[in-house]
Structure 1
Amino acid sequence: MDQIRPCPSGLHKPDSPALGGPVNRFSAPQAQAACPLKTPVSLITELCKHARTSADRINTASLREGNLAVSENFSENLRSLCAEHGSIAQICREVGINRQQFNRYLNGSSLPAAHNLRRIARFFEIPEARLFAPQAEFEAQLRDAASTTPAGPSDSFLEPFRAQHRNLKRYLGFYHAYFRTPSWGEGIFCALTRFIEKDGFILSRNLEIAHDPEQSIRQISRYQGLVTLRGNRLFITEHERAHEGSVAQTILFSAHRQQLKYLRGMTMGVAWRPFPRPYAARAIWKRLDERVSAREAIAACGVYPVRSPRIDPTVRNYLETPAKEDMPDMPGSVLL
């Protein structure tokens, strides 16, 4: 009789007749039919299958954990970068990504597609791969990049003005700057200003031209300076291009984010007659149409009577009606 191998269903190996034990009531073929036996090859195949299933589960879990860590790293690093660049809405406009979608990147619920990742990396001027680094490593790399050269006094002063071309790109162009200065009495002064971009900085160029035929006085002043955006406010610091020329400061804002025709605010400088003295005055800038030539823009500079038809009503109303939040019960310009 052929020997019967162990059966996983619980059938026992038949006792050996030579030892006088009872003979199994199943013959070898019958026993094999009742309990199908697996060959070594089939057993190995099944074990391999179970091993692959277990490995797949482990790999899936590891992959899920890895994706979660990558998403957290990216969102933390993106939040860190945005904290250094002010308005998130402005970042979304410059990058070209919907605010709702950008918020998903910030809270870690979504990762950007390849094209959006490239946009974000280009905006912040950082390699794409670095955005996924662990936060501690990411912050260390940023600190190392910022401290490659020791900062001197000029570096500290210029820091707020660096890398402003992204924030201020839409402000580039020509403006007529209107304000009232004690140097020219009650008239409205109109100057020509231009914003240009150079090496990541936004530069201001200002030209003031005025003529008083009665007193044969003519003023030509040129200023140059730097511009930065902080909290939706434009800060313009300029110095006069003359020996011991004065330094002026102007702060402007747009009434609506999408409206750049008028920029309102305050300017502070030094009146040069009848004697030098500091003053502060309301200022409003009007953006010039691209069709206006440089000659026409310069010709419009000067001092105008308040009721001159050449003064835009919006400009006149702003300069004539000081808001309570400015300086209550004080005229349009203030001597200090």
Structure 2
Amino acid sequence: MREYFPANLQLLCRHYRSIAEVCRQLGINRAQFNKYLSGQSLPTPYNLKRICDFFGVEEYEIGLPTEQFARLIGAKAKPSSDAAEMSAPQQMLEHLRQRSSNELQVHVGYYHEYYHSMSMPGHILCSLVHLREEGGHYTYERTERLQTRAARGEDYERYRYLGVAYYLQNRLFFVDYESLTSNEICQTVLIPSYKSRITRLNGLKIGVSSADHRAPACSRVVWEFLGTQINRVSAYRKVRLYLPDDPELDDDLRERLAQTQMVDGLFQIA
């Protein structure tokens, strides 16, 4: 932990405007936080959990070798300026990036994503999404937690998805993979907001169940915009499974998701 923690913490802080902002949102003294960044001291177990919850990482992950940790959170190496050096898959992705509209910029920020769980039928899953722009590329991180209201402590499964986003012909396309196991890919297509203030975006999500049968599945999906700067700890508390009649889900959200039905174990769009 002591060997890699400072560099990994610095890497996480780069996703924010300043160290002062991180300290303010975490509620940790700046001088003490600087000691963590420099490696002079390690946080207490309590502060370590607060830091990991804030950044959406596990405690064991933040102590991984920095190269491995950078790959885990989706940090990118500097791209080559010579297109001829790119592999065929890289050229395809670069082609899409160049065709993608810059209107994607207005959608950068944090979202709560709601859709019918592919692994826990009869539940609606809320995940936390962070869409950001990095050197002309739009990438995002999506965190899921398969935990019901009744579950306690560490009784849950957690998944982190890393992906790329494109704005093509008036539609938002998101393609991601599960970064901890690398055994699934999801695609989400959303209808962009043309209003001056983004509230909720509607669309479809296709993927596979994480259960043993790994059935292909499709669901209506709703992204609720939270803002460009948020309290991640507070936002993460909502990341879990909900029953459709849960009072925390409003009528508008239920109506937007209502056209999804389950037929023969698969989700069908009415």
TM-score in terms of structure 1 length: 0.49
Q: Where do 5+ consecutive residues of structure 1 fail to align?
A: 1-145
- Structure 2 residue identity aligned to 1:333: F
SS of equivalent to 1:226: strand
Q: Which aligned pairs between 1:1-336 and structure 2 lie closer than 5 A?
A: 149=84, 152-158=87-93, 159-162=95-98, 164=100, 166-212=102-148, 218-254=156-192, 256-289=194-227, 292-322=230-260, 333-334=267-268
CA–CA separation in structure 2 for the residues paired with 1:245 and 1:283: 22
Structure 1 pair 184–313 and aligned structure 2 pair: CA distance change class (3 A): same
SS of equivalent to 2:233: helix
Contact 1:239-1:246 within 8 A present in 2 as well: yes
- Structure 2 residue identity aligned to 1:153: A
| CA positional deviation for 1:310 | 0.8
Give the strand-richer structure, 1 or 2.
2
CA–CA separation in structure 2 for the residues paired with 1:331 and 1:163: 37
- Structure 1 residue identity aligned to 2:268: V
- Structure 1 residue identity aligned to 2:92: F
| 1:87-129 residue CA offsets vs partner (Å, 9 max, x unmatched) | xxxxxxxxxxxxxxxxxxxxxxxxxxxxxxxxxxxxxxxxxxx
RMSD of the alignment, in Å?
Answer: 3.2
CA–CA separation in structure 2 for the residues paired with 1:332 and 1:275: 11
CA–CA separation in structure 2 for the residues paired with 1:163 and 1:297: 33
- Following TM superposition, the consecutive aligned residue runs of length 4 or more in structure 1 with deviations greater than 6 angstroms are 329-332
SS of equivalent to 1:178: strand
Structure 1 pair 245–330 and aligned structure 2 pair: CA distance change class (3 A): closer
- Structure 2 residue identity aligned to 1:249: Q
- Structure 2 residue identity aligned to 1:173: G
| CA positional deviation for 1:331 | 10
Identity %: 21
The structure with the largest alpha-carbon Rg is 1
Give the helix-richer structure, 1 or 2.
1
- Structure 2 residue identity aligned to 1:197: E
TM-score in terms of structure 2 length: 0.60
CA–CA separation in structure 2 for the residues paired with 1:291 and 1:197: 14
Contact 1:165-1:200 within 8 A present in 2 as well: no
